[in-house]
């Protein structure tokens, strides 16, 4: 016996019921001896109890405990329980104590499952009782009652009474109800609306609540369940028949009409109150679904005839409401079948059926939209579809079968028939085929595609695996060996441009997008249909890099710069044939009309994030230049928001993503604002064939790259920095709290910018003149000195990025004073000087290269560096990654250490954590950098910028 008190293990226990139930008590005594010492004075009482094979009236001294106080003692003495099959087992405690211990455990298990209902006792007291009990619960109660030993039954008697013991199961149920009534109140008061009744400890007489309690429990704690069985009536009408199921034996079913007429088989299995429980359940059902009230008006609730509207209600919300009220609805499965529907995209017949994907796209083919509605595997005819559109019934007869008609399907059929939607263009149809949906009058409906459209979808879906299934070697004129992933990228770009679709190669910086594009140009020259010059538009800093790469990997191809004074395109067709023309975004914008006059075989936008704003003049000018194929090259297809992705792909493949406003409504708001995973998945399916993205960390992409280690380097503020930081927060937060709208956003940006400058160096924030003291005033500058001392001592090289040219000049002067020669590249550096700096650094003539993040974060190859220092943060992980990739790229042979300087306890510290979270979402959503903080509330902003810790 596990923990039963010794004085109880040898003694006896009986439950003495009472009305109200919570006044019932458990009596503990020791036969032939003193009652157990439980800290309560014993009482003398007369009881009728079993004595051998007879029943006697005896006088005993017993300890009487309320049920609630007796439960801990009983559960410790449990030695009789029921297992999953309802079988009893015995232990070493006295029979009566062990039995009531098992009963206590059963009661607690029922309460833990929420099996409790309100009721009114025989004497009219408010009470809680166990219920509803399912079939297994009934079995457990019956099995435990059958195991009740005779000595566990007793009844207190006043004076002379007939010698009779209570029967086992009613006594056990009385105990279970007493436990429920003792432990359920007062928390259950939340679930009833009967004033103080059912919520307080003191018994209350509430006979007027008896009907309410019975109605609450009806159908839940009865011997039956009630359901509606739908049957065919006369003609094409339906009838709901009231059906009863026994809970004692779920295989026993009967119609309510048979129970009322006495024709039901084994009516005793539905309980002694079967008719009352049925009526109370139907009364509750009538509140959930008003037509059920007609069942209560009849002499016997046999059933009711349904109108079309009522039958339709039972197919949807009404069935759910009835189910919640405890009444299930059963439709005849053998009579009702559902329609399946899908949209079909097919070529417009008046233009003929194109024979190939290439001709389909080049001819600008149109496609019609129609519905394919099927019953099973049989497509309905036009006449049958018309009948569905015209019907106003929830169930119709089609092909000798009863068919459930989805009202939504009928609406879509009717809307399509009346739609003014013109035939889809080839590119719209392709987008629909990829996503499996098309918009019809503002509603997205499912579609399938066949024929030439399915051929096209199959050819472009899953770019990597498709390229692997269509292996093709590099062009013969290429003077390079392509890696496997570069060859797959070449084959993908070639397939897309041959189809006239275009694409965005969005590999990580340093994975060789330039050589892949050069190979694509050479591949296109091998076919007369695709041969022609390639125009490359890129930042000015990359002109030299493109020219060198072309001369290296395609020595037979001509290359010219269309940039600077004296630029011209004369003799382009005859002189360069299938060569390259290189120009900058600024030159392209100014000379877009001249460039648009030339027949370009391929148009390439390198570092295409420069045209991410579709409203900017540069992006608009680029759209005016025609070509046979368009390719965007960028390591960051999305820097800030999904509208940038739209801008890139709408240039490479116009119309693919619809208008910008529709794209924002359908995708951007759902993904960026609501983090809608399904919308993100639909967008990924649509975009994936047109955007190839590989990362250095992907398996098999760049296994030869050495390790890259990124480390946050916390630094403490100096006392001067702390004073400036706190003063700036105090001053500007006061203004921000009193300002609204655009003015407030401007102040927020001013605050963030000022705080970042304070963290960099007081001289930057205070705009001190040249010659001002720099050492000893900035924790960041001191750490930079330590890092560079270590790098230079090991004969290493480092890149130092800052977003502020002013800070770059301060670092340049400070390092010069320490005898460290540096290079400094910023937005004002000329193209020629940039190229000289890059060459000097790569030759090892300078060990430290200072760079403005915005001007030098892309396009440069600086693999000489083994260390990258981010002196301050851009607060956009994509931009920082681009900058780091100046060193960490193909050709790098040494491990790269990335150091990110962060001022402890400041806004930089908190944003660093946000950046880590933001990087995890970079594949689907990127925030808007510093601008996002302008939307914070005053309290949120104060939490962000308040200085937490100062150590100097």
> Could you tell me the domains of the chain?
6-201 (no CATH), 218-330 (no CATH), 336-459 (no CATH), 475-692 (3.40.50.10810), 710-945 (3.40.50.300)
DSSP run (H or E) holding 128: strand 126-130
List C-alpha distances in Å: 35 to 17, 56, 64, 196. Answer: 20, 19, 10, 38
What are the DSSP calls for 98-116, one per residue? HHHHHHHHHHHHHHHTT-E
Alpha-carbon distance of 92 to 87, in angstroms, equals 17
Report the DSSP pairing between strands 896-903 and 867-870. parallel
Predicted local distance difference test score (pLDDT) of residue 650? 86
Residue 63, classed as helix, strand or coil, is strand
Residue 180, classed as helix, strand or coil, is helix
Q: Is the dihedral of CA 881, 885, 886, 888 positive or negative?
A: positive
Listed in order, strand segments (DSSP E) in 700-748 are 708-715
Closest listed residue to residue 355, CA positions, set 451, 239, 477: 451
Reported as a single tens digit per residue, the pLDDT across 87-146 is 333 444 467 888 888 999 998 888 887 777 777 778 878 888 887 777 678 788 888 988
pTM score, two decimals? 0.50
Predicted local distance difference test score (pLDDT) of residue 289? 92
Alpha-carbon distance of 225 to 218, in angstroms, equals 9
Q: Mean pLDDT in each 10-residue stretch from start to end of the chain (952 residues)?
A: 57 82 83 73 72 67 85 73 39 70 89 79 81 78 86 64 69 88 62 56 74 62 80 73 83 90 83 82 88 90 87 81 84 65 55 50 56 66 72 69 68 60 66 71 65 73 57 85 88 87 83 91 90 90 82 90 85 66 93 91 89 86 92 78 81 82 74 66 79 78 74 85 92 88 87 92 91 90 88 89 93 93 90 88 92 76 89 80 79 83 86 62 39 66 71 44
Find the helix packing angle between 907-920 and 877-884, rounded to 10°.
90
DSSP run (H or E) holding 378: strand 378-379
Predicted local distance difference test score (pLDDT) of residue 41? 81
List C-alpha distances in Å: 151 to 24, 384, 784, 831. Answer: 18, 76, 88, 105
Predicted local distance difference test score (pLDDT) of residue 823? 94
Which distant-in-sequence residues (6+ apart) come within 8 Å of 449 by Cβ? 344, 345, 429, 432, 433, 457
DSSP run (H or E) holding 899: strand 896-903
């Amino acid at each position: 016996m596990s923990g039963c008190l010794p004085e109880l293990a040898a003694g006896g226990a009986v439950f003495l019921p009472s009305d109200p139930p919570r006044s019932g008590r458990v009596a503990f005594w020791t036969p032939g001896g003193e009652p157990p010492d439980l800290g309560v004075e014993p009482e003398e009482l007369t009881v009728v109890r079993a004595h051998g094979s007879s029943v006697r009236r005896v006088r005993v001294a017993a300890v009487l405990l309320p049920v609630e106080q007796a439960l801990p003692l009983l559960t410790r003495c449990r030695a009789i329980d029921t297992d999953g099959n309802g079988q009893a087992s015995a232990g070493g405690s006295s029979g009566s104590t062990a039995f009531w211990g098992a009963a206590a455990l059963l009661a607690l298990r029922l309460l833990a499952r929420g099996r409790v209902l309100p009721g009114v006792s025989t004497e009219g007291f408010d009470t809680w009782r166990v219920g509803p009990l399912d079939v297994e619960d009934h079995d457990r109660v019956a099995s435990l009652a059958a195991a009740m030993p005779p000595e566990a039954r007793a009844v207190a008697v006043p004076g002379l009474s007939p010698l009779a013991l209570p029967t086992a199961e009613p006594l056990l149920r009385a105990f279970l109800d007493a436990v429920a009534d003792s432990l359920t109140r007062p928390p259950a008061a939340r679930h009833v609306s009967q004033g103080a009744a059912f919520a307080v400890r003191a018994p209350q007489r509430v006979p007027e609540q008896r009907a309410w309690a019975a109605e609450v429990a009806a159908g839940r704690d009865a011997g039956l369940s009630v359901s509606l069985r739908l049957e065919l009536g006369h003609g094409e009408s339906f009838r709901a028949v009231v059906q009863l199921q026994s809970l004692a034996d779920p295989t026993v079913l009967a119609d309510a009409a048979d129970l009322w007429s006495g024709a039901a088989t084994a009516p005793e299995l539905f309980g002694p109150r079967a008719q009352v429980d049925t009526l109370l359940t139907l009364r509750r059902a009538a509140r959930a679904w008003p037509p059920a009230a007609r069942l209560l008006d009849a002499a016997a609730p046999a059933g009711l005839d349904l109108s079309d509207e009522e039958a339709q209600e039972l197919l949807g919300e009404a069935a759910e409401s009835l189910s919640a009220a405890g009444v299930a609805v059963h439709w005849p499965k053998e009579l009702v079948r559902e329609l399946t529907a899908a949209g079909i995209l097919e070529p417009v017949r008046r233009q003929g059926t194109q024979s190939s994907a290439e001709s389909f796209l080049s001819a600008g083919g149109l496609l019609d939209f129609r519905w394919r509605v099927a019953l099973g595997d049989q497509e309905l005819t036009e006449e049958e579809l018309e009948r569905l559109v015209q019907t106003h019934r929830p169930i119709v007869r089609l092909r000798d079968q009863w068919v459930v008609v989805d009202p939504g399907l009928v609406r879509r059929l009717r809307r399509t028939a009346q739609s003014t939607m013109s035939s889809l263009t080839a590119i719209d149809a392709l987008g629909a085929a990829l996503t499996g949906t098309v918009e019809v009058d503002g509603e997205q409906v499912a579609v399938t595609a066949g024929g030439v459209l399915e051929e096209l979808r199959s050819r472009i879906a899953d770019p990597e695996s498709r390229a692997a299934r269509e292996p093709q070697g590099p062009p013969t004129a290429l003077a390079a060996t392509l890696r496997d992933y570069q060859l797959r990228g070449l084959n993908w770009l070639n397939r897309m441009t041959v189809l006239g679709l275009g694409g965005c190669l969005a590999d990580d910086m340093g994975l060789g997008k330039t050589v892949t594009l050069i190979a694509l140009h050479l591949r296109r020259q091998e076919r007369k249909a695709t041969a022609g010059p390639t125009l490359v538009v890129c930042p000015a800093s990359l002109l030299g890099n493109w020219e060198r790469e072309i001369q290296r990997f395609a020595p037979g191809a001509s290359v010219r710069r269309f940039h600077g004074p004296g630029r011209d395109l004369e003799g382009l067709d005859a002189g360069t044939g299938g060569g390259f023309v290189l120009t900058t975004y600024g030159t392209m914008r100014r000379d877009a009309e001249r460039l648009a006059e030339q027949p370009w075989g391929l148009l390439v936008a390198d570092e295409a994030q420069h045209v991410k704003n579709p409203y900017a003049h540069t992006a608009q000018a680029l759209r005016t230049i025609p070509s046979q194929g368009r390719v965007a090259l960028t390591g960051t297809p999305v820097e800030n928001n999904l509208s940038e992705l739209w801008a890139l792909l709408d240039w490479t493949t116009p119309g693919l993503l619809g208008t910008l406003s529709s794209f924002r409504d359908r995708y951007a708001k759902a993904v960026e604002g609501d983090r809608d995973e399904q919308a993100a998945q639909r967008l990924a399916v649509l975009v994936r064939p047109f955007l190839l993205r590989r990362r250095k960390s992907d398996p098999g992409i760049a296994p030869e790259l050495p390790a890259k280690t990124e480390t946050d380097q916390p630094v403490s503020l100096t006392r001067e920095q702390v004073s400036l930081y706190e003063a700036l927060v105090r001053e500007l937060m006061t203004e921000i709290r009193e300002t609204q709208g655009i003015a407030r956003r401007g102040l927020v940006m001013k605050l963030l910018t000022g705080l970042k400058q304070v963290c960099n160096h007081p001289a930057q924030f205070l705009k001190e003149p040249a010659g001002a003291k720099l050492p000893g005033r900035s924790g960041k500058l001191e750490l930079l000195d330590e890092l560079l001392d270590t790098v230079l001592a090991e004969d290493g090289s480092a890149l130092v990025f800052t977003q502020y040219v002013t800070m770059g000049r301060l670092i340049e002067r400070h390092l010069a004073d320490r005898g460290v020669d540096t290079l400094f590249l910023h937005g004002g550096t000329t193209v020629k000087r940039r190229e000289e700096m890059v060459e000097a650094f790569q030759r090892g003539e300078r060990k430290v290269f200072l760079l403005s993040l915005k001007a030098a974060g892309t396009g440069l190859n600086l693999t000489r560096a083994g260390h990258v220092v981010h002196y301050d943060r851009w607060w956009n992980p994509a931009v920082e990654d681009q900058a780091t990739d100046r060193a960490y790229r193909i050709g790098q042979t040494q491990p790269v250490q990335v150091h990110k300087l962060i001022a402890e306890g400041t806004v930089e510290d908190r944003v660093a954590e946000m950046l880590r979270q933001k990087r995890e979402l970079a594949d689907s959503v990127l925030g808007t950098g510093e601008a996002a903080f302008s939307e914070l509330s005053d309290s949120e902003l104060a939490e962000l910028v308040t200085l937490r810790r100062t150590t100097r």
